[in-house]
Structure formats: structure tokens, C-alpha cells
Copies of this chain bind each other. A is one copy, B any other.
Amino acid sequence: MLFDSKTIDRIRSTLYSGVLSDVLDSLGHTGQAMRPDIRPVDDSLVLFGHARTGLYMDVYEVEPDENPYEIEIALIDDLKPGDVAVFGCGTSGRIAPWGELLTTASMCRKAVGCVTDGLVRDLRRIKEMRFPVFHGGIGPLDSRGRGKMMRMDGLIDCAGVKLRTGDWVFGDIDGVVVLPEKIAAETIRLAFEKVESENNTRRELLEGRLLGEVYRKYGVL
């Protein structure tokens, strides 16, 4: 694993999606934040973990003798501790891949969250379980006969960001950011540094200095 559990705890308690997005910008990766319509079920929870991707297709029927959940079940049963299920459902607004039973099954595998641009249901129970879920909308629909996972662990698009198994995802009240595998460690290191200089900026503003002055000094806004 790229990060040990102590570092992961520190990431969740110290970093936030804004500082990660800024660092990724500075490294030339300006398209790593998911669209603003991806929102958390519980905005007090912070998600950070290793992505396990699933790609969905819109379907309009269940074929005879077909298990419509086959690949989805395989992915959930293969989740490792620290994994985050990331499901790309496209733009139809018809696919609702996540609910209470997948939450329960994922928690039993020690997975640490779910991100999808599809719909989610069973919000009351998911809130009670305090499992971080970020979603593209809420609805009571089953995915059966509407959407089907066709590939696992490959390249997907989730809410405007391309990612695959191996990348890392961070989510909090401000949204979801994807850290590509190759620059994840570097991004985390720089983010811890940047938090420091933002603290300085804030402190001087609170002492009453003008924004222009403070910006000239720290170059952070």
C-alpha cells in the first residue's frame, strides 16, 4: 500500500479537497476534481482511499438466465481494506448502483467509501452506518434492468474525471478529487506543506491586514 494507516489517518484529519486540488493544479493536473453535482450523503465525513473502478452500461431489460449483478458482486466481494468503490454510470441519470446492501457488504470487507456519478438509495440507513458515500443524485430505483456493470478495475469516467483502479480518491464537504497513482505520494507531501502557508495567510488576515498585502507576502489565495 502506498500509504500506511497512520498517514491515512493524518490525511483524513488534516487535508481537504481544496488544498489537494490546488496542489494538483500546480503539478499541471487541472482536471482532477469531479463535477459539483457529486455530493456526500453525510457532509461531516471525509473519504480517502484506493480506487476500485466499475464501468456501467445503460440496459433496458434483463436477459433470460442473466445475473445482472455478476461483475458488481465480484468487485464488492474482492474489495480490500482501504478500498473505495468508484462507479462510473455516465450521463443518463437512470442508473442507481448503490444502496444499503452494498454498503453493508463493503463495510464487512473493510472498504472505506463509495463514489459514483449514478444515483444512490437507502440514505437513512447509509447515514446511520456512517459510511462515506458520494453520489450524483438520490432515487429509489434498483439498477436491475436499468444499468449493469460491464468491466471492473479498468479506465472509467466518473463525474468528469478519468481514473482506474490504483488511483486514489479524496472526498469531503467541498467535493471529490482524484489523485493519479503516479503522483499520489508527491501530491500528499506538497499538500501537507501548503496547509502550513494557508494557516499563515489566515492568521495575518485575522490580525487585520489587507488581502493585497498578505497575498504579496505569501502568494496564496
- Asked if A113 CB lies within 8 Å of chain B CBs, one says no
Contact among B77, B140, B175 for A175, CB-based, below 8 A: B140
Chain A contact-residue range equals 35 or more
Q: With an 8 A cutoff between CB atoms, is A82 at the interface?
A: no
Would you call A205 an interface residue if the criterion is a C-beta within 8 Å of the partner chain's C-beta atoms? yes
Query: A106 to B118, alpha carbons, bound, how many Å?
Result: 36
Task: List residues of chain A with CB under 8 Å of any chain B CB.
Answer: 16-18, 20-22, 25, 30, 33, 35-37, 39, 43, 55, 57-61, 63, 69, 73-74, 76-77, 90-93, 99-102, 104-105, 108, 119, 121-124, 137-142, 144-145, 150, 154-157, 162, 172-175, 177, 198, 201-202, 205-206, 208, 210-212, 214-215, 220-221
- For A43, the chain B residues whose CB sits under 8 A away are 123
With A16-B140, A57-B150, A101-B211 given, can you name 6 additional A-B contacts, CB distance below 8 Å? A18-B122, A61-B155, A101-B202, A104-B205, A121-B175, A140-B175
**Closest 5 pairs (CB-CB, A-B):** A17-B140, A36-B137, A57-B57, A21-B140, A105-B211
* 24 chain-A/chain-B pairs, Cβ below 8 angstroms: A16-B124, A17-B140, A18-B99, A18-B121, A18-B140, A18-B141, A25-B142, A35-B93, A35-B139, A36-B119, A36-B138, A36-B139, A39-B138, A60-B154, A73-B211, A73-B215, A91-B92, A104-B206, A105-B210, A108-B206, A108-B208, A138-B173, A140-B175, A142-B221
Given the interface pairs A57-B150, A90-B58, A101-B201, the reply to whether A175 lies near B212 with Cβ below 8 Å is no
Interface residues of A, dominant DSSP? mixed
CB-CB under 8 A for A211 and B18, given A33-B141, A90-B92: no
Q: Which residue of B92, B138, B172, B221 contacts A144 across the interface (Cβ within 8 Å)?
A: B221
Give complex CA distance A111, B57 in Å: 28
Cβ B210 vs Cβ A77 within 8 A: yes
Contact B101 A221 (CB under 8 A): yes
